């Protein structure tokens, strides 16, 4: 039988942090975790949408335990403030779902001067994970979930000499780089957990082709031409619902049989039941992870400290 939210174990007493929980996949992940009894910290930039999302979850699960924290992943100051707010209230975090992201937008910089897609999709989440690490390590068997995309197959590894693709930028190229960074981060982080003897796990997931606002925003940005409109149409007419697309994320976050370093995704690449999928792109993996760590520490000034 396909895995569904009915298979999520009892999460009472658990604390989860979900980025981008104000809509789309993040909302469905927050809903699934809260429905199973977890206290969910909904980390989102748009506070009005986050409040609407909270009301939607409570309508589905009246006993849901929810908390909204303002988080703008395009600002390291905002990441620090959000992390401090979470740590002030929670000694331990059991699940961190690094879900929020941008796709194929015209060239733009974050508040800290990072290329926007790498800055939000990876560096912002690197900084958040780093700052929340003490609470993750206090949990027995915490899970960190990184959300990649099939776009990681055409992405190039981050170049330490030009991580922000200056003079080489393309919307889809930057998106592919950021999604490959998510992929390398998840694998690298799990190796660090294992090396340190930590009980925490890091897993990769991707939702497949899902009808969210991601493709709509890509077209609205106007930087991708026909390709953006093509994928918007594909998502609109053939994509899975957000609830279905969120299942790989929820399975990676909660399935007791899931192991660190695994990837959960739709069975047929972009469609189908949430299943464990093989880890590909192994050639040069260690070097790519080492470069990613170098760039991430240098750009954010933060290390992934497991001590």
Q: Which are the catalytic amino acids?
A: 175
- Secondary structure E strands in the chain: 15-19, 39-44, 65-70, 95-98, 143-147, 201-205, 263-268, 271-277
Instruction: Assess contact for 75 and 111: CB atoms under 8 A.
Output: yes
Q: Hey, which residues does 264 pair with through a beta bridge?
A: 205, 276
1-27: string of b/e by CB count within 10 Å (b at 16+)? eebebebbeebeebbbbbbbbbbbbbb
Which of 179, 161, 210, 218 is CA-nearest to residue 98? 179
Q: Any bridge partners for residue 240, and if so which?
A: 210
Phi then psi for residue 30, to 5 deg, are -60, -40
Q: Burial letters for 202-239: b for 16+ Cβ neighbours within 10 Å, e otherwise?
A: bbbbbbbbbbbebbeebbebebbeeebeebbeebeeeb
């Amino acid at each position: 039988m396909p895995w569904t939210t009915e298979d999520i174990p009892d999460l009472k007493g658990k604390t989860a942090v979900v980025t981008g929980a104000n809509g789309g996949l993040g909302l469905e992940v927050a809903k699934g975790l809260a429905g199973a009894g977890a206290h969910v910290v909904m980390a989102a930039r748009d506070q009005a949408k986050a409040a609407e999302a909270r009301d939607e979850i409570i309508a589905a699960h009246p006993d849901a335990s929810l908390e909204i924290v303002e988080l703008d992943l395009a600002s390291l100051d905002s990441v620090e403030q959000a992390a401090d707010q979470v740590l002030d209230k929670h000694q331990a975090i059991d699940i961190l779902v690094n879900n929020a992201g941008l796709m194929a937008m015209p060239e733009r910089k974050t508040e800290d001067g990072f290329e926007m897609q790498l800055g939000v999709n990876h560096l912002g989440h690197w900084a958040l994970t780093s700052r929340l690490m003490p609470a993750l390590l206090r949990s027995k068997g915490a899970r960190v979930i990184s959300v990649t995309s099939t776009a990681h197959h055409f992405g190039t590894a981050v170049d330490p000499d030009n991580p922000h693709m200056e003079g080489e930028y393309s919307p889809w190229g930057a998106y592919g780089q950021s999604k490959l960074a998510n992929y390398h981060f998840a694998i690298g982080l799990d190796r660090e957990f294992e090396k340190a003897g930590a009980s925490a796990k890091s897993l990769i997931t991707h939702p497949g082709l899902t009808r969210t606002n991601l493709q709509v925003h890509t077209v609205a940005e106007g930087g991708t031409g026909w390709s953006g409109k093509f994928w918007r149409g594909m998502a609109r007419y053939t994509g899975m619902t957000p609830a279905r697309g969120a299942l790989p994320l929820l399975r990676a976050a909660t399935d007791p049989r899931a192991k660190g370093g695994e990837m959960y995704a739709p069975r047929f690449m972009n469609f189908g039941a949430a299943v464990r999928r093989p880890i590909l792109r192994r050639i040069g993996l260690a070097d790519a992870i080492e470069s990613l760590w170098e760039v991430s520490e240098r750009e954010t000034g933060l290390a992934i400290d497991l001590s």
